[in-house]
Amino acid sequence: MIVFEDVGFSYERGVPVLEGLSLSIHAGECVGLIGANGAGKSTLMQLVLGLLPHNGSLRVDGLEVEKKNLAEVRRRVGYVLQDSDNQMFMPTVLEDMVFGPCNYGMPRAEAEARADEVLAELGLEALRNRYNHKISGGEKRMAAIATILAMRPSVILMDEPSATLDPVNRRTVIRAIGRMEQTRLIASHDLDMILDTCSRVLLLSGGHVVADGPAEAILRDRALLEAHRMELPLCLQRL
Amino acid sequence: MEELAAQDSPVHRLHPLAKLLVAVGYILAVMSFPKYALTGLFAMLLYPLALFQLSGIRVSTCFYKLRVILPLVCAVGVANPFLDRAVALRVGTVAVPGGVISMLTLMLKGVLALMASFLLVATTRMDSLCASLRRLRVPGVLVTLLLLTYRYVGVLVDEVSAMSQAYALRAPGQRGLHISAWGSFLGQLLLRSMDRAQELYSAMLLRGFHDHFHYVAIPPFRRDSAVYMATSAAFIALARGVDLPRLLGGLFVR
């Protein structure tokens, strides 16, 4: 569970990027985070991970996101970066998958067993010993998700998980997100994917959450979306 | 390099610590040759040639991978022929100045040291090498720095490649990078590399990185590694102590 209470952040003094954010994301919920470029979606995720300082109170599973809790918070929260090249820094997929668990004290053999388990869950066994620089963009995105799942987080944050993927890989990622049981917060401009995967949507604009509700209701509201520089999902535009 | 290191051969299977120690010993021995000991150095060629043969790695692969750095290494002694003009050798009627011999010696030393380093990295995974360094009690910070540098080189190369491509596509018919663009190119390269490095580092922090890596377990030290170390040490000592090519040549030429 993630709880924001009057959370704010600014890169420059007096120019808030996020302001007075108060909301809760419950365990197991899949929440879409939408908004125009510069709305603060990635910043919000980085606040949850403690990569940026914040005002107000921000808690993950009851733990305040602050320096003394960062290791535990980051063990519980997995973050799938927008650019998988930046996520996969070890030579092979397996090495990348055991990196996190080993850092949290898991013996290597156990970490490898867990990596195998996750790869089997996602149907990615063939990627196990592949070199990261030799796999395709879609495979790399799935491998990046696998590295995060190998840490068995209770919360998963994803930044544009479907960006740059072809339709088949995009569908694979959507299926994988749908099968996850963790709390998920997905920032994306791909509103069709958000509609497919999320039950709830947060619309960020001007540093505030301007809409928070069921995905169907918000993503069908043309006036609301257009007022915040967005459009209806493509699948709804045809109706 | 990672793919070369992941191959299987008798050399790849040797204990990383044995390979590391022999490589360091070899490089030190090569560097310790006097500046006119060109003939003696030729015997040291046997070590990398034997390893190339046993590891299945081609010599051409080595020179291809080192093509950028080799000219720099070879350029180290180019001033010697001008500084040291005393005749050190006569080949028929041609007088060879000492500077030429010392230049060739320096070049050969550089090439041999590079070949030994290449062979070490091409037959040993970087993780195993780092684990060996830690076993030798090299400070963890230095080893982590080495590993991260190794990883970040790829990031830098990616950025250079992407930027060069973008430049070339908008500069048709131009060879290389025009001097007027060097400043902004390097500036942008630095900024982009720093951004990417920061992202990578964040990704590591988010997966529990605490300033040191968990290296792979090194296999036990087996007899083949001991034999390799003993043989290599004996050869290096012999080649360093005795000018083998001159000795062999002396058998045939007075």
Q: How far apart are CA A21 and CA A59, in angstroms?
A: 13
Chain A (137-156) residues lying within 8 Å, Cβ to Cβ, of chain B: 147, 151
Looking at per-residue pLDDT, the higher value among B215 and B248 belongs to B248
Residue A91 in this model has a pLDDT that exceeds 90:
no
Residue among B12, B20, B247 at smallest CA distance from B133: B20
Cα angle value B60/B4/B122 (rounded, 5°): 75
Residue B131 in this model has a pLDDT that exceeds 90:
no
CB contact under 8 A, B207 and A71: no
Residue B220 DSSP class: P
Chain A: nearest CA to B205, how far in angstroms? 8
Residue A119 in this model has a pLDDT that exceeds 70:
yes
Chain A (16-75) residues lying within 8 Å, Cβ to Cβ, of chain B: 49, 51, 71, 74-75
When pLDDT is averaged across residues B119-137 and rounded to a whole number, the result is 86
Question: What residues pair up with A203 in beta bridges, in sequence order?
Answer: A34, A211
- Percent of chain A clearing pLDDT 70 (strictly above): 99
A192 falls in which pLDDT band (50, 70, 90)? very high
**Residues of B with CB below 8 A from A95's CB?**
127
Lowest mean pLDDT among A84-88, A135-139, B99-103, B166-170: B166-170
CB distance from A100 to chain B under 8 Å?
yes
Considering only CB atoms, B208 lies closest to which of A74, A83, A85, namely: A74
Determine the distance from the C-alpha atom of residue B62 to the mean position of all C-alpha atoms in its chain, rounded to a whole number: 9
Q: Is A13 helix (H, G, I), strand (E, B) or coil?
A: coil
Looking at per-residue pLDDT, the higher value among B213 and B116 belongs to B116
CB contact under 8 A, A99 and B206: no
When pLDDT is averaged across residues B166-172 and rounded to a whole number, the result is 74
Considering only CB atoms, A51 lies closest to which of B126, B202, B207, namely: B202
DSSP assignments along B150-215, one per residue: HHHHHHHHHHHHHHHHHHHHTSTT--S--GGGHHHHHHHHHHHHHHHHHHHHHHHHTTT--SS--P
Q: How far apart are CA B229 and CA B164, in angstroms?
A: 44
Residue of B nearest to A77 (CA): B206
When pLDDT is averaged across residues A110-124 and rounded to a whole number, the result is 91
Mean per-residue pLDDT of chain A: 90
Residue B88 in this model has a pLDDT that exceeds 80:
no
When pLDDT is averaged across residues A5-21 and rounded to a whole number, the result is 88
CB contact under 8 A, A89 and B203: yes
Q: Which tens digits make up the pLDDT trace of A139-165?
A: 888 999 999 999 999 999 999 998 888
CB contact under 8 A, B216 and A108: yes
Report field, pTM of the whole predicted structure over 0.80: no
Looking at per-residue pLDDT, the higher value among A223 and B207 belongs to A223
pLDDT the model gives residue A200: 96
Looking at per-residue pLDDT, the higher value among B163 and A44 belongs to A44
Residue B172 in this model has a pLDDT that exceeds 80:
no
Residue of A nearest to B126 (CA): A91
- Tell me which range, A137-146, B155-164, B168-177, is most confidently predicted by mean pLDDT: A137-146
**Residues of B with CB below 8 A from A76's CB?**
none
CB distance from A171 to chain B under 8 Å?
no
Residue of A nearest to B149 (CA): A89
Residue B44 in this model has a pLDDT that exceeds 80:
yes
Q: Which tens digits make up the pLDDT trace of B110-122?
A: 889 999 999 988 8
Mutation for A interface: B148, B151, B207, B218, most A CBs within 10 A: B207
A239 falls in which pLDDT band (50, 70, 90)? low
Considering only CB atoms, B203 lies closest to which of A75, A81, A133, namely: A81
- Percent of chain B clearing pLDDT 90 (strictly above): 4
pLDDT the model gives residue B254: 62
When pLDDT is averaged across residues B218-232 and rounded to a whole number, the result is 85
CB distance from B207 to chain A under 8 Å?
yes
DSSP assignments along A119-146, one per residue: HHHHT-GGGTT-BGGGS-HHHHHHHHHH
CB contact under 8 A, A81 and B205: no
Residue B160 in this model has a pLDDT that exceeds 80:
yes
Residue B84 in this model has a pLDDT that exceeds 80:
no
Considering only CB atoms, B208 lies closest to which of A75, A79, A108, namely: A75
Considering only CB atoms, B207 lies closest to which of A85, A86, A151, namely: A151
- Tell me which range, A103-112, B31-40, B94-103, B240-249, is most confidently predicted by mean pLDDT: A103-112
Considering only CB atoms, B209 lies closest to which of A51, A95, A103, namely: A103
